[in-house]
Structure 1
C-alpha cells in the first residue's frame, strides 16, 4: 500500500509502498477515506516533543485524524465489523488501565499517540491498524462524510472536550480563543454553539475573518495592538470567563492567562514547541490573588463522541465548516511546509490516497 513516510525531520515525506497491516486479535484494520493534516503532524515532522518521549523517528508513518471503513477485525473484537464507518481518536488507549475502564481513555496510563510512535503507524496511508479496537474506534452516524468527520480524530474533538467538559462555559460568557488554526477555529465554532460570546485572537486577518464566519463576536489582531490581554479585557468588560491557548507558544499561553477576569479559567490545548520544550513562565501571584484556574485538556474520551454527534444532528455543530480544502497523499509535505509560516486556514484533509 502507499504511505507517506518520515525520512528526515523537516524534509519532505516520501510516498512509497509499504506492507499492508494485519489485524491483531484485539485490533482492526481501517481503509482510509480521509485524514486531516494537523499542526501536531507538523510538530512530529519537525522533530518536536522529544521532551514528551513521542518524537517520531525515521520510518514513521504520520497522520492522526482518520476516518474510513473497517476492512478486517481481530478474533477478540466484538463492537465492530467489516464495513463499519469509523473515526479514530489520536490518543489511543490500551482498554485495560483504570483510566480506560472509567471512561477516561484519553488519559490512558499507557497511551499510544497515533502516528507518533513506532507501535502505532499513522493514517497518511491507504490502510492503518488500530489496536484495542473496541476501546478506540468510534462509530460514525449514518450519512456523514469521512472528509467532514476527519477533524474528529484530533482538532474538533479536542476543542470540544476542552470547552464542553473541562471548562465551565455558560450562556453569554466571554470566551477568548488565542490562535485560530484548526483547533482554534474549531473552538470558536464550539464555544459559539455552547452559547458563549467569542473573542478570536490571531495575527492573520484571513483567519480572523474565518473566525467571524464560525461565530466569533469580536476579533483581535495581535499584530495590530500592543497589549493583547488588555484588548480582550476591554472587550469582555474586565476579562474573559474562559480563555484558550490553542497554539502552544509562550506568548499565546501567557496572553490567554492575562486575558482572564477574576475566577477565570485558562484551558491549555496547544502543546509547546522547541522554544518552550514544555515550560512556560506564568503570573502565578496574580493567578493566586484572582483565583484563576489553569486547566490542561487532552483529546477526548471516545465514550463521549455521541455528544458531538447529537449536536451535529440538530444543526448546532458543523465540523465540515472548519475543513478548508481536500488534497492528495502526495500533497502532504507541501501542506506541512505551509504550516511553518502558518500559511493554512482551517483543516486541510487528504481524500485521495
Structure 2
C-alpha cells in the first residue's frame, strides 16, 4: 500500500462491547475512491466489559483493523495514540455512536481535495431513539437552542469555526500538533481553535453525511452538558478566548439567576422577569425545534432546552471555580459520561 494512498481511520472507545461489531462492519464497508486503501486504528481505553477481547477477535479476522492501547482512557489520549501509529497521508476520526453514509470517507477525501482545507467534516446531525431521545435530537439540531452553530446546519458548505469529527491531511498534525491530553472534553473544539489561530482553514461539506445518537435521558444530557461546560474555561485559559461567544451565554444566564436569588427580596422583580423571559424563549424555541420531530415532542422540549443551558452554564462556573482555586481540573470531571 502506497503511503500517499493510505487513509488512516482513528476511533477511541471504552466499554463499547454492544457497539463495536456494528462499528467495525460499517467502517469496513466504506467504499473508497480507486487507488485508496484503509487502515482502522481503534484505541481501547482499558475496557472492562469485553470490548478489548472482541476487538482482538475482529483484528484477527481483518488485517485492516488494529487495536491501539489507550492507558489514558479518555478521547484525547486515544486519538493521539492512534495518530502516532497511523501510516496514512490522510487521517479521519470516527465515533462509535455515529452512523455513516457508505461514501462518508470518500466524500471526506473529495472535500479535502476541492477545498484545500486543513480539516474537513460534515454537519453534526442527531437522530434520537424514543420520545425523549427524539426531543433531545430536535433541540440539538435547533439553532435557537445551540446558538446558530454552522456545524448543525445540514445544508451548509463552506468555512466554519469547528466541524464534527474531522478529516485531516497528515501535514495538519505536523503543523498544528495533536489533541490536548489534559482535556477530557472539548479536545476537538480546542484543536480546531488552535488550528484557526495559526492560520488554518476548516471546511464543512453537506455531502459528508452521518447521524449521531445523542443521550437518551434528561439526566444523561445534563451530565454531558455539565462536563462540556466544565472544560470550557480550561480551553479559554490556554488560548485566552472562547471558541465562539455563544459558548459564554449559558454561564451568563446561570450567573444572573444565582445573583437574583442571592439578593432576594430586592431582586424579586428582576428574578421574575428573568424567569418569564426565559420561559417565553423556551416555549418559542420548543415550537421551532418541534418542526423537525413533530408536535408530540413539545411537552418534553422545554425541559430538554433547560437541561442543555443549565447543565452547560453550571459546568462552566464549576470549571472556573476549580481553575481559580485549584489551578487544575477536579478528578470528578476526569471520567467521560455516557
User: Normalised by the shorter chain, which TM-score bucket?
Assistant: under 0.3
TM-score, normalization by structure 2: 0.27
Please say which structure displays the higher CA radius of gyration.
2
Greater strand share, structure number: 1
Greater helix share, structure number: 2
TM-score, normalization by structure 1: 0.26
